[in-house]
Amino acid sequence: MQTNPTYSSLVAVGDSFTEGMSDLLPDGSYRGWADLLAGRMAAVTPGFRYANLAVRGKLIQQILDEQIDVAAAMQADVITLVGGLNDTLRPKCDMVRVRDLLTEAVERLAPACKQLVLMRSPGRQGPVLERFRPRMEELFTVVDELAARHGAVVVDLYGAPSLADPRLWDVDRLHLAAEGHRRVAEAVWQTLGYDPEDTDWRTPIPATVPPRWVARRIADARFARQHLLPWIGRRLTGRSSGDGLPPKRPDLLPYEH
């Protein structure tokens, strides 16, 4: 792969992971790995432009319907696509349909950019996601196959030990915290061929003394009340946390820090 390439534009497509939850800024907005990546690319490329069409909670059908044609029309140098994981976390999931929809999305985006970036999303340790792990890994197999077929690159976050650490995740246990997003930005940066700024992004953070049993149970109860039960409720009723929300950065415009 070319070293320190010149990419003049980036469009990010997807759901909450690409929107930037839960890398919270002081003003209450989310930053996230895509914003961090855009900032680094802009720093080495004058006039760099960036759009982020991602909206939290979106399923792959919604991403296809609402984001793919918009992203393709922008003709950006780099397009990132991360989608389908929300589908795998639903009580019922037709993986054949997910495969078909993701395939259609890739087929539309690959010819519309210089470099399409796909990802094997990170998966943290813990029991909540264990029942969905076979679906997730099936999705990642599809991602690998599509990348090989269409000349996309794959950022393997799922295989990174550091990103499995619960300490890199928000209290909702579904979204990465700031340090997790920083490491994802570094991973994509390197995959695009730029010189590494952090060669150890895959390395787990140093171990600390684990919290006591009582503290863990209190944290589990708080998590269930504030995050798990509302999340289950949305899954069962077909609602989404992103219903009615616009994309965070809908137009391909010069990026300003």
In terms of Cα–Cα distance, which of 117, 208, 211, 121 is closest to 163? Answer: 121
Give the pLDDT confidence of 112-144 residue by residue, as tens digits: 999 999 999 997 766 557 788 899 999 999 999
Q: For 129, what's the count of Cα atoms within 13 Å in the CB-facing half-sphere?
A: 21
Cα–Cα distances in angstroms (integers) from residue 47 to residues 11, 128, 168, in the given order: 15, 43, 33
- Whether 238 has a pLDDT exceeding 90, the answer reads no
Mean pLDDT, range 14-37, rounded to an integer = 94
In what helix (H) or strand (E) does residue 78 lie, and over which residues does it extend?
strand 78-82
Most confident of 68-77, 86-95, 231-240: 68-77
Q: Are residues 30 and 23 in contact, defined by beta-carbon separation less than 8 angstroms?
A: yes
In terms of Cα–Cα distance, which of 227, 177, 171, 172 is closest to 205? Answer: 177
- Whether 97 has a pLDDT exceeding 90, the answer reads yes
- Whether 218 has a pLDDT exceeding 90, the answer reads no
pLDDT band at 241; cut points 50, 70, 90 = low
Tell me the whole-structure pTM to 2 decimals.
Answer: 0.86
- Whether 230 has a pLDDT exceeding 80, the answer reads no
Domains of the chain (ranges plus CATH)? Answer: 9-208 (3.40.50.1110)
Query: In this structure, what token pair is assigned to residue 141?
Result: 């197999």
Share of residues in the chain with pLDDT > 70 (%): 82
pLDDT band at 223; cut points 50, 70, 90 = very low
Amino acid type, 29: S
- Whether 214 has a pLDDT exceeding 70, the answer reads no
What pLDDT is recorded for position 1? 47
In what helix (H) or strand (E) does residue 36 lie, and over which residues does it extend?
helix 33-44
Task: Find the length of the chain.
Answer: 257
Separation of alpha carbons 180 and 193, rounded Å: 20
- Whether 99 has a pLDDT exceeding 70, the answer reads yes
- Whether 234 has a pLDDT exceeding 70, the answer reads no
Mean pLDDT, range 63-90, rounded to an integer = 96
Mean pLDDT, range 195-199, rounded to an integer = 96
In terms of Cα–Cα distance, which of 72, 76, 85, 78 is closest to 16? Answer: 85
Give the pLDDT confidence of 136-182 residue by residue, as tens digits: 999 999 999 999 999 999 999 999 999 999 889 887 778 999 999 99
